[in-house]
């Protein structure tokens, strides 16, 4: 049996520094954008988060449940930019990681709408003749007053829970056409069906493709609703228009809704603001500007970027 030398013991006990980032409202509670935590080998990712929050009572209560053991379900945890649920979960080892990012999940959405089985069925339908019969809508919703985005997302979750409707929400101004939105839904659903999803939250995966980004933090900066919202875009895709109508009627009856406008894509859409947000250059547009295509260079550039995320 090999003896454990002092060098081996020191290596095991040696600690490394892991940076823990706080985004959105957590940054204000932490009174800093990040902290560095001394981490010894053998600790879990959850342990590192505990160490980062334990000395700040307000922050700790926002991140952890009342028992102090479990992290709240609305906190998104990224490990080196990847959703922790895709890396073994919160109790996996924190060895060899550099950075943890905590995001309050005002953009989360239900994970149940994005299970692999459901995604595969939806993907099959979207590619069949029935794909054209699916109910696709983009609604510009204005609220009577500014609300925490977390409350808006919870309202949407309750509205569409238990239905075949898949939905997402973003800041306004990010939809070029029905084809653009359908394409984003298609690639989001395809990502779950193929196991290539970056997040386990459907809405966040949708925002990644809407923003043409493979980093959750960047996608939320581009397309997210922020900590509070006065207006937002709601994207819905359903197998049944009747189901959509029923649930939307329920949503519109809530006291928070001031005005609802269904986007009219028959009118020309000004693409420049979106191109600026997505950092699509004139040079890139010129490479997609060829007369044989019925699509505009702007739409082709956005669709190309979206499709590349699943390659």
pLDDT at residue number 268: 45
Pairwise pLDDT comparison (8 vs 128), residue with the higher score: 128
* pLDDT score of 57: 93
Whole-model pTM? 0.66
Domain boundaries, the chain: 6-104, 112-308
Question: Between helices 178-194 and 297-308, what is the axis angle to 10°?
Answer: 10
Query: Measured in Å, how far apart are the chain's first and last C-alpha atoms?
Result: 48
Q: What pLDDT, in 10s, does the model give residues 234-290?
A: 999 888 888 899 999 999 999 999 999 998 765 544 445 555 555 555 554 455 554
For the chain, what is the mean pLDDT? 78
Question: Which range among 41-45, 99-103, 141-145, 275-279 shows the weakest confidence by mean pLDDT?
Answer: 275-279
Q: Which of 81-95, 121-135, 172-186, 202-216 has the lowest mean pLDDT?
A: 121-135
What's 6-104's CATH class?
Answer: alpha beta
- At residue 66 the predicted structure's pLDDT band, cuts being 50, 70 and 90, is confident
| Stretch among 23-32, 276-285, 298-307 having the lowest mean pLDDT | 276-285
* CATH level 2 (architecture), domain 112-308: 2-Layer Sandwich (3.30)
Q: Among the listed ranges 6-15, 72-81, 141-150, 228-237, which one has the minimum average pLDDT value?
A: 6-15
- Cα-based distances in Å from 114 to 13, 167, 180, 199: 41, 10, 20, 10
Q: Is the pLDDT of residue 13 over 80?
A: no
Q: Which residue has the higher pLDDT, 202 or 64?
A: 64
The span from the CA of 196 to the CA of 193, in Å, is: 8
Helix (H) or strand (E) holding 238: strand 228-238
Tell me which of 175 and 245 has the higher pLDDT. 245
Q: Rounded mean pLDDT of 72-79? A: 85
> What is the spatial distance between Cα 62 and Cα 44, in angstroms, rounded to a whole number?
20
pLDDT of residue 28: 87
Mean pLDDT of all residues in 40-67: 92
- 169-181 mean pLDDT: 83
> Which has the higher per-residue pLDDT, 38 or 297?
38
pLDDT score for 280: 52
pLDDT value of residue 114? 43
Ranking 113-122, 170-179, 238-247, 282-291 by mean pLDDT, the lowest is: 282-291
Local confidence band at 130 (pLDDT 50, 70, 90 cut-offs): low
For 72-91, what is the mean pLDDT?
83
pLDDT band at 22 (very low <50, low <70, confident <90, very high): very high
Distances (CA, A) of 127 to 123, 192, 237, 309: 6, 15, 14, 19
The sign one gets for the Cα dihedral 205, 28, 222, 263 is positive
Q: Is the pLDDT of residue 232 over 90?
A: yes
């Amino acid at each position: 049996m090999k003896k454990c030398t002092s060098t081996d013991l020191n290596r095991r006990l040696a600690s490394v520094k892991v940076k823990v980032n706080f985004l959105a409202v957590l940054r204000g509670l932490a009174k800093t954008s990040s902290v560095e935590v001394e981490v010894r080998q053998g600790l879990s990712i959850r342990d590192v988060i505990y160490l980062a929050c334990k000395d700040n009572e307000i922050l700790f209560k926002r991140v952890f449940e009342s028992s102090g053991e479990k992290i709240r379900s609305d906190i998104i945890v990224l490990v080196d930019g990847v959703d922790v649920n895709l890396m073994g979960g919160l109790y996996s080892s924190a060895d060899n990681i550099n950075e943890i990012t905590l995001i309050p999940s005002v953009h989360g959405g239900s994970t149940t709408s994005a299970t692999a089985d459901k995604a595969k069925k939806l993907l099959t339908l979207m590619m069949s003749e029935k794909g054209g019969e699916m109910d696709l809508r983009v609604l510009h919703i204005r609220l009577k007053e500014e609300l925490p985005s977390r409350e808006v997302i919870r309202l949407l979750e309750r509205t569409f829970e238990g239905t075949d409707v898949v939905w997402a929400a973003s800041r306004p101004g990010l939809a070029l056409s029905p084809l653009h939105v359908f394409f984003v839904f298609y690639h989001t659903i395809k990502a779950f069906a193929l196991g290539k999803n970056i997040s386990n939250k459907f809405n966040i995966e949708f925002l990644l493709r809407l923003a043409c980004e493979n980093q959750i933090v960047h996608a939320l900066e581009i397309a997210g609703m922020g900590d509070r919202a006065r207006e937002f875009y709601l994207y819905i895709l359903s197998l049944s228009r009747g189901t959509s109508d029923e649930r939307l009627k329920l949503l519109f009856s809530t006291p928070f809704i001031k005005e609802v406008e269904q986007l009219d894509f028959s009118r020309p859409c000004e693409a420049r603001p979106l191109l600026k947000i997505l950092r699509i250059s004139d040079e890139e547009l010129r490479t997609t500007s060829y007369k044989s295509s019925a699509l505009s260079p702007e739409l082709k550039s956005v669709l190309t970027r979206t499709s590349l995320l699943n390659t």
